[in-house]
Every structure is written in structure tokens, then in C-alpha cells.
Amino acid sequence: MKRRDALGALTVLGALPALAALGGCASTPAVGTGDLGLVIQRARGAVSIVDTTQRRALGEVAGLGDLSHAAAVFGRDGLHAYVFGRDGGLTQVNLVERRIVARVMQAGNSIGGAISADGTLVAAQNYTPGGVKVFDARTLALVADLPAASRVVGLVDLPGRRFAYSLFDRDAICIADLSDPGRPQVTTLEGIGRQPYDGLVTPDGRHYIAGLFGEDGLALVDTWAERPQARRILAGYGRGEAPLPVYKMPHLRGWAVAGRHAYLPAIGRHEVLVVDTASWEEVGRIAVAGQPVFVIARPDGRQVWVNFAVPDYNRVQVIDTPSRQVVQTLSPGKAVLHMEFTPRGEAVWISARDDNRVRVVDTQRFATLADLPVDAPSGIFFTSRAHRTGF
């Protein structure tokens, strides 16, 4: 039966009791996904599912293969995570039900991936045999194979059904348009600099930046240009100084863009470079405790947090961006591998692999809010990444 209410809207009366009964008899309360995330258990092939509001672990999902170098991205609704394993496995995990939905062995050696802006395509970057493979996000069916004859690094999503990535062995950057996944269009920019080892895209999706291991400097591409080209920036930032040994490669996805400045790890140096994102010129340097690995901005841009390679990987430093000064040095545990901010940045989660702990720290008072036991934790990934370009 139907009737019109005072505003003239139609109401389906027969459906109301059924809906009320459904809500009243539910045995399990509804669970949202906005405060969920996962922590990689590096040694066990498992992930811990965590609640960032209650600051606790909800459970785990095992059977994900070799996670010694693992990364994750999320579907747009935050229900599914896609975990890329070092053994080439790509695993779709339901975070609410805490189970594997699908899993494919798509390569021999993989180090990460990305999800398209519309959430329909998942792309994996591969060392062996090289190239990029693209999958349907619902089914993990292969929809495109982009061979490269090179190890692929720095894969990120761009606006539209596009991805950018770098070719370590070919000194090149590629932009792949998968508007029609059956007929992918790949633009390759050659001669961008020696050995690009990782890459990032700015939060607006416009500029793709590849770090160069074989030389001082970086390569920058304006993806909005009608005919994108790569140009060198920060060339020779270590010129005139003896090169230092590199104990761990920085991870450029963690590079921080805060306001109009980017905060970048200087390879092999105990410095964070400050770069103006309008001119892409260096405007400052900040001395830090060791060789930076992750340099990550708090969501509001007020702070930048830095962790380090050995022998300084038990420390984390906090940079105040207005003053460009280190304002805090923390020792959250042995072998700090990763940091992840809660969506609004009131807390940061820090993995301490050799202590088998994840510590949650208040970013204003620097007090420990929670201390969670996790077996050999490494990467930490929250569902808020689903709504950020390049994450």
C-alpha cells in the first residue's frame, strides 16, 4: 500500500515494518570501513586488520604468500584491500569479513601497484618478468598486459584510467592510458636520467616525479601537458661532496607535499630537501639524524615525519614545516619500517619490526596512545588512501 505524506512524497507502507524488523533483529551491528586498515606481517604472509578509531587489532588474514616487500591499495568503498606480494601474488582481501576474496599469482617478483581513479582497475608493477599487468578490480581477471623489458618501479594512478611508472633498466618513464583496457595506449619518455628507482605523483595528479639512483637529481613530468616531456630538477644536489653509501633506498610514495613545498629525502645524505612546487627549485635543506627512508607529511601539512635507514632506524624525527626545524626525536622501537597517519592526522601509527610492535603516537603531545603486538610488522595502510591520488 502507498500513500502520500505531507510533502507529497510516496511512502511504501508495506516495506516499513520489514525494514524495522531487519534493523531490530540484526545479530551484528553495522560496520563501517572508514576507520579500518591493515598492517603487513612481514615474516608470516599475513595481515592484521586494525581499527584506527579504537586503536586495536580486529583479527588477521593469512595465506598471502611472501610479504617481505609488500604494499596495499583499497577499493573506493574501503571494503576490499589489494595486497601486492614479493612473490608476484595479488590478493583481494575483504576487510569487514576478514577473508581472502581472490588471489592470483601474476608474476615472479612484484613490488607494489596502484588502483585506477575510478576504482575499476588494479595494476601491478613487476621486477620479474618486468612490465605491468592490469586486472579487473572485482574479479582479478587480467584485462591488460603492458610488457616493458625492464624492472618497473614507481607505479602510480593518474586522473582518469591512467597510470604512470618508471623503467629502472631503460631510463624511461611511461604513461599508460587504459580508457579502453582492451587497447591500452602507452607513451614512453626515454632518456629521463639514470636508473629511476621510485616515483610519486603530486596530490593534484599533475606532476609525476621519479627519483634517480644513478645520478644526483630527479625527473619531472607535467602530465597535464598535451605532449608530456621529462625534465631534470634538482640536478647535482650533492655536487662537490663525497657520495655516501646508501644503506636503504628511500621510498618516494612517502615523499611529503605540504602546502607549496615538497620535502624530499636526499639519497645517501642526512638531509631532507625542501622544494618549491611552483618552480621545482630547491629552497632549503634540513639536517636530520640519518639517511631518510620515508618522509611523510601530516594530512594538514603542519608536520613532516621522517624515519631512517640503518644504523639509525630506531629513531623518528618530526619537522615543523613553518620553521623547518626538527622539533622532536622519538625512539618508538627497533627497526622502524613504516608510518601511517590517521585520516585527519591526530595520530600516527609506527611499525617497529624487531620489537614486534606497532605504536600509535599522538602527533601533538607525542605521547604513546596504544601499543599493539604484531608479528614483524612493516607496511601500514589505512582505507583513507582510497580517496587520495597516488596512494
In a domain, 37, yes or no: no
In a domain, 181, yes or no: yes
Q: What is the extent of the structural domain holding 215?
A: 106-247
pLDDT tens digits, residue range 91-112? 999 999 999 999 999 999 998 9
Inform me whether the pLDDT recorded for 26 exceeds 50: no
What is the per-residue pLDDT for 10? 36
Our measurement of the distance from residue 290's CA atom to the centroid of its chain's CA atoms, rounded to an integer in Å, reads 23
Q: Rounded to a whole number, what is the distance in angstroms from the first to the last CA of the chain? A: 49
Average pLDDT over residues 128-133: 96
Maximum CA extent, the chain: 83
In a domain, 241, yes or no: yes
In a domain, 238, yes or no: yes
What is the per-residue pLDDT for 244? 57
Our measurement of the distance from residue 176's CA atom to the centroid of its chain's CA atoms, rounded to an integer in Å, reads 19
Residue with cell 620515508: 294
Residue 253's φ and ψ, nearest 5 degrees, are -60, -25
What is the per-residue pLDDT for 333? 96
pLDDT band with cut points at 50, 70 and 90 for residue 263? very high
Inform me whether the pLDDT recorded for 60 exceeds 90: yes
pLDDT tens digits, residue range 321-354? 999 999 999 999 999 999 999 999 999 999 999 9
What is the per-residue pLDDT for 252? 72
Residue with cell 505524506: 5
Inform me whether the pLDDT recorded for 276 exceeds 50: yes
Inform me whether the pLDDT recorded for 215 exceeds 60: yes
- What is the bridge-based pairing of β-strands 196-201 and 261-265? unpaired
Helix (H) or strand (E) holding 341: strand 336-341
Average pLDDT over residues 5-19: 37
Inform me whether the pLDDT recorded for 124 exceeds 60: yes
Entry pTM: 0.90
Inform me whether the pLDDT recorded for 277 exceeds 70: yes
In a domain, 169, yes or no: yes
Question: H-type helices in the chain, by residue range?
Answer: 15-25
Lowest mean pLDDT segment, chosen from 2-16, 172-186, 362-376: 2-16
What is the per-residue pLDDT for 327? 98
Inform me whether the pLDDT recorded for 4 exceeds 70: no
**For the chain, what is the domain count?**
1
In a domain, 11, yes or no: no
What is the per-residue pLDDT for 253? 72
In a domain, 197, yes or no: yes
- Name which of 90, 82, 86, 64 is nearest 119 in CA terms: 82
In a domain, 85, yes or no: no
Indicate which CATH number applies to the domain containing 189: 2.130.10.10
pLDDT tens digits, residue range 297-306? 999 999 999 9
The neighbouring-strand residues paired with 261 are 258, 276
Inform me whether the pLDDT recorded for 5 exceeds 60: no
Average pLDDT over residues 227-244: 77
What is the per-residue pLDDT for 361? 98
pLDDT tens digits, residue range 241-261? 555 566 566 677 767 888 899
What is the per-residue pLDDT for 352? 98
**Residues in Cβ contact with 370 at an 8 Å cutoff, skipping those fewer than 6 apart:** 55, 56, 359, 360
Indicate the SS3 state at residue 60: strand
| Count of all residues that appear for the chain in the document | 391
